[in-house]
């Protein structure tokens, strides 16, 4: 998923949080005034916060991302004399309930809706999206441990691979969710399955604890 927080061409705003332009009639502070120094400090903090948010994309829900992106736009878009964009400006509209599919509910961690849909056989627990990702992939990607447990109870294919050959274990490992990695392994996930790049789950994580757990289980299968 591409980050929505730092679009190409984004530039730093002033202390009011809006972009300035050559046609602005806003007053300009002296380069050495306390207000300018404070502005620069706030700008640096804002850019650091925006950069930090990029690392949270894999665990944030769509609604959280929409909310944060809307706030980002409020700071970064528009001249001093133009209204700031509202939350509903993102992609033109809010995503209403009737527009959501089962994967949206999975990303939101809506366990009640997903459980009901599976019980009523409105959806197959192993259905996939266009990228070959099953509900279990998404639950692991977002760190929804309770939902992972529910999907496994309904016999989700624990070793199902997406279009790139990655299993739910790859997703949980890459996102560094140690508790979910352990749950998957205890439930029979195969740590020796490689993706299309030839990578094991232990090779896609930057977390030493996750890597060690996976290495031990892989060694046990040797």
- Once rounded to an integer, what is the mean pLDDT over residues 126-131? 96
Q: Kindly state whether residues 88 and 130 are assigned to the same domain.
A: no
Cα gap 22→175, rounded to integer Å: 43
Same domain, 147 and 59: no
Average of per-residue pLDDT values in the chain: 76
- The whole-number pLDDT of residue 48 equals 77
Are residues 77 and 167 located together in one domain of the fold?
no
Name the domain boundary from 93, 116, 133: 93
**What is the value of pTM for the model shown?**
0.58
Q: Which of 66, 93, 120 is the last residue of a domain?
A: 93
Contacts of 51 (CB under 8 A, 6+ apart): 5, 6
pLDDT of amino acid 220: 76
Please compute the mean of the pLDDT values over residues 174-192 and round it to a whole number: 96
Please give the pLDDT value at position 82: 34
Q: 75 and 24 share a domain?
A: yes
Domain range spanning residue 22?
1-93
The reported pLDDT for the residue numbered 66 is 61
Q: CB-hemisphere CA count at 13 Å for 200?
A: 16
Please state the domain count of the chain. 2
Q: Which two tokens stand for residue 162?
A: 């997406």
Q: At what angle do helices 145-153 and 135-142 cross, to 10 degrees?
A: 160
Average pLDDT of the residues in 47-71: 67
Check which CATH number belongs to the domain holding 165 and give it: 1.25.40.20
Q: For residue 120, count other CB atoms closer than 10 A to its CB.
A: 8
- pLDDT of residue 20 exceeding 50: no
The residue whose two tokens read 């995503």 is 95
Residues 61 and 108 in one domain: no
């Amino acid at each position: 998923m591409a980050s929505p927080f730092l679009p190409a061409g984004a530039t730093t705003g002033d202390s009011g949080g809006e972009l300035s332009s050559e046609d602005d009639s806003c007053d300009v502070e002296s380069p050495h005034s306390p207000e300018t120094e404070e502005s620069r400090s706030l700008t640096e903090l804002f850019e650091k916060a925006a950069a930090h948010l990029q690392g949270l994309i894999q665990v944030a829900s769509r609604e959280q991302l929409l909310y944060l992106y809307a706030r980002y736009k409020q700071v970064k878009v528009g001249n001093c004399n133009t209204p700031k964009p509202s939350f509903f400006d993102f992609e033109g509209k809010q995503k209403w309930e009737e527009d959501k599919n089962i994967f949206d509910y999975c990303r939101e961690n809506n366990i009640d809706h997903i459980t009901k849909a599976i019980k009523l056989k409105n959806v197959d627990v192993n259905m996939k999206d266009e990228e070959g990702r099953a509900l279990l992939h998404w639950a692991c990607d977002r760190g929804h441990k309770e939902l992972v447990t529910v999907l496994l109870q309904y016999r989700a294919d624990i070793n199902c691979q997406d279009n790139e050959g990655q299993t739910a274990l790859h997703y949980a490992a890459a996102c560094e969710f140690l508790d979910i990695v352990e749950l998957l392994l205890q439930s029979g996930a195969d740590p020796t399955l490689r993706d299309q790049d030839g990578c094991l789950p232990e090779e896609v994580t930057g977390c030493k604890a996750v890597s060690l757990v996976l290495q031990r289980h892989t060694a046990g299968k040797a």
